[in-house]
Amino acid sequence: MSRSLIAAVLAIAGASSLAACQGQHSSEPPIVPIRNMHEQPRYDAQEAATYFTDGRAMRPIVEHTVAQEMEIDPILEDGVDENLDYAPTIPDEVVAGFDGMEALLARGQTRFDIYCVPCHGALGDGEGMVPEVSNVATIRPPTFHDDRIRHMPDGQLYATIRNGLRNMPAYGHVVPVRDRWAIVGYVRALQLSQMDGQ
């Protein structure tokens, strides 16, 4: 008998003996090499939980969560409509989400102070700390009080915050959608505040 035939017979016999063990009852406890993976301290779906005050293990959906299969409004998310035209103004649903323009502007000011002031300055005049320290003319941001930016649609300002432009990096990954629109509103308020002397 050749060696290859013997090896094949042994392989078939081994597989048969292993298959015969499947589904057999045993009085011995199973061998579990990683016990904490086998017995996890967790709640199952729909299970009651004493940890939370409402007694539910499954938590409610976080406000403003967007499911993957949800249809997203392109104006709200991208600042452009289906024809790729910029939104002329801040969407009404964003203003309503802040319970009015006053709260939107207050939020916009706090976000502007965090993300925009270092380059654009507190007045939006492009005289921030970063251009002053760098002393490089090519990275000086434009003033928001230039006529070109004053007449820009709100959606274009929003898209610039989201996607970046030239030397300005994109902030879409750190500034949420509503906050981007709030910053746009605050930039418009800054522009109005600086128009008195012009």
Per-residue model confidence as pLDDT tens digits over 145-161: 888 888 899 888 999 99
CATH for 170: 1.10.760.10
The mean pLDDT of 108-117, rounded to a whole number, is 90
Q: Using an 8 Å Cβ cutoff, are 160 and 187 in contact?
A: no
In a domain, 14, yes or no: no
- Asked, for residue 67, whether it belongs to a domain, the answer is no
Q: What percent of the chain has a predicted confidence (pLDDT) above 90?
A: 12
Confidence of residue 21 (pLDDT cuts 50, 70, 90): low
Note whether residue 159 is domain-resident.
yes
Query: Binning pLDDT at 50, 70 and 90, where does residue 18 land?
Result: low
As a whole number, mean pLDDT of residues 59-86 equals: 79
Q: For the residues 84-109, what does the mean pLDDT come to?
A: 89
What is the mean pLDDT of the segment spanning 3-7? 78
Q: Is residue 152 part of a domain?
A: yes
In a domain, 83, yes or no: yes
Judged against a pLDDT cut of 80, whether residue 181 lies above it is answered with yes
Looking at per-residue confidence, does 102 or 37 come out higher? 102
For the stretch 116-125, contacts whose Cβ atoms lie closer than 8 Å and that sit 24 or more positions apart, written own/partner, are 116/183, 116/187, 119/168, 120/144, 123/190, 123/194, 124/187, 124/190, 124/191, 124/194, 125/194
Tell me, yes or no, if the pTM score tops 0.85: no
Q: Averaged over 33-59, what is the pLDDT?
A: 81
Token pair for residue 58? 């499954």
Instruction: Let me know if residue 103 belongs to a domain.
Output: yes
Would residue 123 count as lying in a domain?
yes
Q: Greater confidence, 153 or 131?
A: 153
pLDDT band at 17 (very low <50, low <70, confident <90, very high): low
Report the pLDDT value the prediction gives residue 137, as an integer from 0 to 100: 59
- Whether residue 95 is predicted with pLDDT greater than 60 in this model: the reply is yes
Q: Is residue 7 part of a domain?
A: no
What whole-number distance in Å separates Cα of residue 145 and Cα of residue 188?
A: 9
Q: How many domains does the chain have?
A: 1
Domain residue limits at 158: 74-193
Mean pLDDT of 82-98: 87
Q: Rounded to 5 degrees, what angle do the CA atoms 79, 196, 183 make?
A: 25
